[in-house]
Structure 1
Amino acid sequence: MRLYDFDASVENFLSYLLLERGLSPNTTAAYRRDLREWGSFCAGAGAPPLPPEQETLSLFQRHLSRGEKSPATKQRIIAALRTWMRYLEQEGEGGGDVRLPSLPGRKEGLPRILSEGEVDRLFQACEGAGPLELRDRALFETAYGCGLRAGELCGLRLGDVDFQAKVLRAFGKGEKERAIPFLGQVSERVAFYLEKGRPLLLKAPSDVLFLTRSGNPMKREDIWRTLRKRGAKAGIPASRLHPHVLRHSFASHLLRRGMDQRSLQELLGHSSIATTEKYLHFDLELRDVYDKAHPRA
């Protein structure tokens, strides 16, 4: 049986995902981490990682099932392994004579959301005339008003914001571009930040919209720290906060106001309507009555 170079195969696979399937660098990096789990297990078991052997696959699945990783992480690792094995078969590198490992069961969690009152308190916690206060208010207004992922917020450039056309361009998973309405307080707060706040944060030429205190582009961890800091000031428990909480709240609030799922799917950039449908299953603990399609439009 021919043995293949596992590391080279993984890198070729990642290039295929990035260049041919259009997946984002973050997603391909996650595939690399997950396949390293398989490689490390095989090294410890004294088994070749490539081509995958049926007995080793079964042992790996048992190893994962007994481990302490979350069900979601276990499922993701197996999904990465399955995708890689399909690629191997496609490229003639083996894998066609073994069964694909089955995906472990996963209990779907519902996204955590904030009430409209909590969102207002979070915005109020950013009140002030300093550049960081102006940035944080514009950042949160954009996250909530446009339903952006944390990575999409970090990736925003000045040219992605069109005040005249009232449209914001976002680049989601797989670098898929979508246009989102850019109206009301969102537009006003971003314009105010650009005029009064961003110039004081800018240390060197940059077209990145949201900057740190030192003038660098904001990263996901910067958004997380900012959210925790402002959330604490607003009296919101840390357990209710996570980088996508404003995006999830945006989706839930729009559905409660009567937006149809297909329109919401387009706004969120979901490739599958099934991903959008999970917002319908919230326990509607806060049955707010709304007049418009969005509280801050």
Structure 2
Amino acid sequence: MRLIHSTDEFQLSQQPYPDVPILLDRNGAIVVPALQFLIHQCLHRGRVRSAATWTAYGEALYDYFGYLEGAGHAWEQRQKAGIPSILARYRDWALKRNKESTVNFRLRLVVRFYRWARDRGLIGELPFDDEAVVRRAGGGMLVHAQRLTSTTSPDILLKQRREVFPVLSKGQVAEVLHAVAGNPTHYLIVLLGLQTGLRRMELATFPEHYVMNGGMAGPDRRVFPVLLDPAHVQIKGRQKRTIHLTRHLLDQLWQYRHTYRPMLARRHGGAEPATLFLTADGGPFTNGGMGKIFEAISRRVGYKVHCHMLRHTYATHTLHALRSAMNIGNALLYLRERMGHSHISTTEKYLHYLEQIEDGVLNDYQREVDQLFAGGVTL
């Protein structure tokens, strides 16, 4: 099984559609039902416009159909009584090498594929049942305002434990920045991620022309809003949003733009990229190139660091700081706008991780007290 992506040569009704995931079996033939489903999901549905989401859908089906091909099963085979369904067997196989959240994401897409196939008469019955699940709904973070509601869910899904976001402590932030201090490009990518919560491709495609001379605004201005526009930046969901840059960060970006970046740009053979950050060869960063930065950081600091950790770290520490300056509802709304979350419930998840940050603050305080007494200070 192979996963490829279409180019502009892939046309439907004379309209080119690049980036559509396409599955090929071991003989090189297109897996037609999977392609038809992906066309429906990626091209027909108006809510899914991100090529990154299309890729995630393609990878989910690739994993499932690859399992079927390796095990010698047909996707449309009927379920036999007394043995686990083919979806249950795939789930247990996938769980050996993936997190519960990853397995559930793929299962949900496969479930959607089977519902789609049934609705079009490709299969007569679904290889799973729906069962009632009771959840809390409404009220957001106010537990007392939530009500219990009953909904249905495919019975093959795993019960997920609450996932703990990987958040860097203040000490680890210092270690990560020290690890990239010798490379101005990598250093500023990390610093921009830590101070804005930008996603990986938002960092990679951050435009050069967004960086202004903060000194032109006068000495008293400390924060500078920057409007992210999907016409210039690869933004998830293609929704405009505003981030805030501190004067210190903006000054560093401005210096990079006018001193270090031109040296890199001269190494590039073609037209100069529009992105602020350039590789050692003067080209724009790819998704894979960004990943290599954090692989190198991980080797230097001795623990796993990935780009999305910067986003989690920004969100959690910012929420912790804002909570003492405003009510938590306004703090969440501010953070939601900066992060570009579609739903406030996504932002609310960071409330669950404040305790670990508060523990860190307390530990810092306790260490300072210990040092105070160790120094022989008389109270």
Fold-level similarity (TM above 0.5): yes
Residue 80 in structure 1 maps to residue 109 in structure 2: yes
Does the Cα contact within 8 Å between 2:294 and 2:307 map onto a contact in 1? yes
Match of 2:174 among 120, 130, 142: 120
SS of the aligned residue for 1:258 comes to helix
Question: If the length of structure 1 is used for normalisation, what is the TM-score?
Answer: 0.79
| Aligned counterparts of 1:57 and 1:93: Cα–Cα separation in 2 | 24
Matched, 1:107 2:178: no
- C-alpha displacement at 1:163, in angstroms? 5.9
What code does the residue aligned with 1:82 have? V
Pick the structure with more helix per residue: 1
Instruction: Give 3-state SS (helix, strand or coil) of 1:20's partner.
Output: coil
Q: Quick one: which amino acid aligns to residue 69 of structure 1?
A: R
Matched, 1:174 2:248: no
The answer to which structure has the higher strand fraction is 2
Is residue 29 of structure 1 aligned with residue 55 of structure 2?
Answer: yes
Shift of 1:10: 3.3
| CA RMSD of superposed structures (Å) | 3.2
CA contact (8 A) 1:114 1:249 kept: yes
User: For residues 1-297 of structure 1, what are the structure 2 equivalents within 5 Å?
Assistant: 5-16=32-43, 20-43=46-69, 47-50=73-76, 53-54=78-79, 58-67=85-94, 68-70=96-98, 71-88=100-117, 92-94=120-122, 97-98=125-126, 99=129, 101-102=154-155, 103-127=157-181, 133-161=183-211, 166-169=225-228, 171-202=234-265, 203=268, 204=270, 205-230=272-297, 236-239=301-304, 241-259=305-323, 260-282=331-353, 283-284=356-357, 285-287=359-361
Per-residue deviation, 1:161: 4.7
Deviations 1:156-191 (A, max 9, x none): 223455667731415432333322123322212211
SS of aligned partner of 1:166: strand
Kindly indicate whether structure 1 or structure 2 has the higher relative contact order, using CA contacts under 8 Å at least 6 residues apart: 1
Give the distance between the partners of 1:94 and 1:14, measured in 2 at CA: 17
Query: CA offsets per residue over residues 211-264 of structure 1, 9 Å max, x none?
Result: 11012211333333323445665xx3323x122121111111111112512221
With over 3 angstroms needed to count, the CA separation of the structure-2 counterparts of 1:87 and 1:156, relative to structure 1, is farther
Aligned partners of 2:168, 2:317: CA distance in 1, in Å? Answer: 9
Q: Is the 8 A contact 1:34 1:80 kept in 2?
A: yes
Percent of aligned positions with the same letter in both sequences? 24
d(CA) in 2 for partners of 1:54 and 1:225?
44
Distance 1:187 1:83, change over 3 A: farther
- TM-score when normalising by structure 2: 0.63
Distance across 1 between alignment mates of 2:63 and 2:179: 42
Structure 1 residue 195: Cα displacement: 0.7
Query: In 2, distance between residues paired with 1:57 and 1:152?
Result: 43
Shift of the 173–86 alpha-carbon distance from structure 1 to 2, 3 Å rule, reads: farther
